[in-house]
């Protein structure tokens, strides 16, 4: 089954019943249901795509990382132990695939294509939708993207999940496999670095009319209680400012 092909056969019991849980879909996939994994991916592809894109900052790289991650999940589904939510497991695989790509890219740097010469015009090949940024905010979004890319990998991953995607600290700790205190520490250090790099975007540092976008304050992290990764979440000002052109 190709991960990019998300078509569903509606004769499958797992596909026609929207009340079937993620865990049941994964179990159905392991048991041989050829449509169950496609349904699972269809449910969560937009959030997984957003995490990949924000972590890598490149549409083509993000699409390839997501493809690699979901192929890995497809093949390793029978080894899922059930000690976390299925979405936590999926996000962990996606984040690890992204970080692996970043490490390889750092070990073998290449000259990037200019903006606009790569990436699909109408969204990723995976089917996720990346909202377009207003033209007047595009330069700011690029500055923020570059600032995120300059962070150490661990801080970037934590900030993307907590501040950009809005996941609770406890859930991010499970995704990344570290203690909650470690996530809070990484976020605090990452926010401090961003505050220095993006200080010129604060009101009063730019145009005299005060129209410049704000940047996030250094906070203690997302305070929401964890109940597994959800398809919707609150978005910080960093997330709003970092919308890129599709």
Q: What is the CA 23 to chain-centroid distance, rounded? A: 21
Q: Is pLDDT above 50 for 70? A: yes
Residue with tokens 């493809």: 67
pLDDT in tens, 190-222: 999 999 988 877 665 544 343 433 434 434 444
Q: What is the CA 196 to chain-centroid distance, rounded? A: 24
Q: What's the DSSP call for residue 204?
A: T
| Range scoring the smallest mean pLDDT among 17-26, 53-62, 184-193, 197-206 | 197-206
Percentage of the chain with pLDDT > 90?
47
Q: Is residue 189 exposed (0-12), middle (13-18) or buried (19+ Cβ within 10 Å)?
A: middle
- Its pTM stands at 0.64
Q: Which two tokens stand for residue 213?
A: 């976008």
Q: Which two tokens stand for residue 1?
A: 């089954």
pLDDT in tens, 136-180: 466 777 888 888 889 999 999 999 999 989 999 999 999 999 999
For the chain, list the domains and their CATH numbers. 1-130 (1.10.1740.10), 132-246 (1.10.10.10)
Q: Is pLDDT above 90 for 105? A: no
Contact by Cβ (8 Å): 97, 153: no
Per-residue pLDDT, 203 = 62
Q: Is pLDDT above 80 for 111? A: no
* Closest by Cα among 161, 155, 151 to 47: 161
Q: Which two tokens stand for residue 198?
A: 């993006």
- End-to-end Cα spacing for the chain: 27
| Range scoring the smallest mean pLDDT among 13-27, 82-96, 114-128, 199-213 | 114-128
Per-residue pLDDT, 37 = 96
């Amino acid at each position: 089954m190709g991960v990019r092909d998300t078509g569903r056969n509606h004769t499958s019991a797992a596909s026609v019943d929207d009340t079937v849980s993620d865990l049941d879909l994964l179990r159905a996939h392991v048991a041989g249901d050829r449509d169950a994994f496609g349904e699972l991916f269809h449910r969560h592809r937009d959030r997984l795509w957003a995490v990949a894109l924000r972590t890598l900052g490149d549409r083509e790289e993000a699409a390839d990382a997501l493809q690699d991650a979901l192929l890995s999940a497809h093949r390793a589904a029978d080894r899922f132990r059930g000690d976390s939510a299925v979405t936590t497991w999926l996000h962990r695989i996606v984040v690890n695939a992204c970080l692996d790509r970043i490490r390889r890219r750092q070990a073998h740097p290449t000259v990037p294509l200019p903006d606009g010469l790569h990436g699909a015009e109408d969204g990723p090949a995976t089917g996720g939708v990346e909202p377009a940024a207003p033209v007047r905010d595009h330069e700011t979004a690029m500055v923020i993207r570059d600032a995120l890319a300059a962070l150490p990998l661990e801080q970037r991953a934590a900030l993307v999940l907590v501040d950009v995607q809005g996941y609770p600290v406890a859930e991010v700790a499970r995704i990344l496999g570290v203690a909650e205190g470690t996530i809070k520490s990484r976020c605090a250090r990452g926010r401090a670095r961003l505050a220095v790099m993006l200080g010129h975007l604060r009101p009063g540092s730019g145009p005299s009319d005060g129209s410049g976008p704000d940047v996030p304050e250094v906070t203690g992290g997302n305070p929401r209680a964890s109940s597994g990764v959800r398809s919707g979440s609150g978005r910080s000002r960093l997330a709003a400012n970092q919308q890129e052109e599709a």
